[in-house]
Structure 1
């Protein structure tokens, strides 16, 4: 009897969560998360270009959020960005377990079948996006509370903690290699324009062209940045000095020291800024499925 009641409560809760995940207003307000993340990338990209030509700046997520906080009505802007990214993270989480990306939906979820592999891919992608936007929301939380931490220092501390664990140097190298692969996937998706499958086609040819240019260039800029962070982490693990893994800021500023490093960093910075513009446009044209 109790077991049946528990099953019924769980079933009702799942049905309610499914209705929430599919509710059009939940989808609409969650789109603000794309805009918030886009603003962060635009500021980050512009700062990288400024650093490339000899200026000073913090090419980290925390540095970009600090710039937002310094604008008129900065606290209000931070709260809006926090709510947007948190809701988008929650929407992806609901979508993974109760929405179109759920493994509980109709059809086969057997990974040995093509449909099953596609559904597992959609499920894991939704979880990954939920985690990514939750991390961005967490960064905004720190600034709203007034106890924000430096992203680069946090990355270095996390690397040191990981490296000090049993087999930590190997784990740090694997984490760097994985991040490098993710960066490569971003670049490949930029060339193949896989993201077009997730967007509605704009009715305006000019907007459609802008979306394509920003998507291709933006995915490249984002991919190269992620790959650079991964390479820096892998090199730090190989040298046995985890403090060399300093996140995005360290990776971007290391590019400047390479041969042809200034034009490379300018190109990557422009790519990151265009990726931010792409995210802002995506808030309007993403199918949210």
Structure 2
């Protein structure tokens, strides 16, 4: 009996792992990467409008969803976006359970990162689908969310240290993302043999420029979190929209925001390239 039960368990796990690496899950991954690209592309466009003094909407996920909702077939597009993000969450869940592609894909670090991404994209998918159904606000303003979370965290025992540590972690994560983009480590995850030399150069432009800009935005948001912790003022924390606007307040002026916003557009295009040529 025990032998039979063990054999059934092994067969069941093998079947589940085969499904996790099958065509359905690969399709879910590519749909998720495409959905991510749409969001970053629209956030970048909204940030460009702000840089040129034309933006009325927030340059964050909520602003992107509102922009989609105003387009022809907007409701259909929102549902498609939400379903794509569900696919992203399921793909990351399969990586957490069975491991990701690559030689170190089954390592504990990779599995833990995949689990964190699964939780994040599950929340994003839920917020998008709720917005599409008319029962949610797309996750709300990123700025308000950041201030509210920071305020609650500061009220905890050792809250300043917790917020400060989280801010430092975000800064480091942002710099790592930017560094990896510049070093083109994403190439290890792509089927480069399917790309022509010209297309490979275009992918590098989007991957380097987009990834570096994305990392700098993360790092800047982390700096504001550290500042909020040091000064014990949750209002100093910034979400994506306020973080992007802060680039225009530097000595470089709106020109820096234009560069960062263009980089986010590039990252959206890079996500489309990953959806097409990434190994999953």
| TM-score with structure 2 setting the length | 0.90
Q: Which residue of structure 2 lines up, in the alignment, with residue 276 of structure 1? A: 268
Whether 1:173 aligns to 2:164 is: yes
- 1:197 to 2:196 alignment: no
Of 38-47 and 120-129, deviating more is: 120-129
CA distance in 1: counterparts of 2:58 and 2:8, whole angstroms: 49
Q: Give the gaps of 5 or more residues in structure 1.
A: 103-114
Query: Partners in 1 of 2:83 and 2:33 — Cα distance?
Result: 11
Counterpart of 1:96 in structure 2 is 96
Matched, 1:226 2:226: no
CA contact (8 A) 1:45 1:272 kept: yes
Q: How does 1:37-52 map to 2 (within 5 A)?
A: 37-52=36-51
Q: Specify every segment of 5 or more residues in structure 2 that has no aligned partner in the other structure, as ranges.
A: none
The answer to whether residue 228 in structure 2 is matched with residue 236 in structure 1 is: yes
Cα offset for 1:85? Answer: 1.2
* Corresponding residue SS for 2:157: coil
Range that drifts further, 200-209 or 67-76 = 200-209
- State the superposition RMSD in angstroms: 2.4
| Contact in 2 for aligned 1:41/1:273 (Cα 8 Å) | yes
Aligned counterparts of 2:275 and 2:262: Cα–Cα separation in 1: 20
Evaluate the alpha carbon distance shift between residue 6 and residue 235 of structure 1 in structure 2; reply closer, same or farther with a 3 A threshold.
farther
| 1:100 to 1:190, Cα distance in 2 relative to 1, 3 A | closer
- Deviations along 1:155-190, one digit per CA (max 9) or x if unpaired, are 221121111111112111111111111100011101
Given that residues 181 and 227 in structure 1 are in contact (C-alpha distance below 8 angstroms), is that contact kept between their aligned partners in structure 2? yes
Name the SS of the counterpart of 1:31 in structure 2. helix
Looking at structure 2, the residues matched to 164 and 6 of structure 1 have their Cα atoms a distance apart, in angstroms, of 51
Alignment of 1:106-145 (within 5 A): 119-145=107-133
Q: Is the 8 A contact 2:96 2:111 kept in 1?
A: yes
Alignment size in residue pairs: 275
CA contact (8 A) 1:180 1:230 kept: yes
2:107 & 2:246 partners in 1: Cα distance? Answer: 39
CA deviations 1:100-139 (Å, max 9, x no partner) are 469xxxxxxxxxxxx8798234323322432343233133
Q: Partner residue of 1:158?
A: 149
CA distance, structure 2, for counterparts of residue 276 and residue 26 of structure 1: 21
Provide TM-score, normalisation by structure 1. Answer: 0.87
Q: Return closer, same or farther for 1:268/1:165 CA change in 2, 3 Å cut-off.
A: same
Change (3 A) 1:14 1:200: same
Residue correspondence of structure 1 range 239-258 to structure 2 within 5 A: 239-258=231-250
**Could you tell me whether the CA contact under 8 Å between 1:43 and 1:273 is conserved in 2?**
yes
Per the alignment, residue 73 of structure 1 pairs with 73
Task: Indicate if the aligned counterparts of 2:99 and 2:111 stay in contact, CA closer than 8 A.
Answer: no
Residue aligning to 2:82: 82
Deviates more, 1:200-209 or 1:70-79: 200-209
Which is worse superposed, 92-101 or 20-29?
A: 92-101
Over 3 Å counting, the alpha-carbon distance change for 1:14 and 1:117 in structure 2 is closer
Q: Is the partner of 1:183 in helix, strand or coil?
A: helix
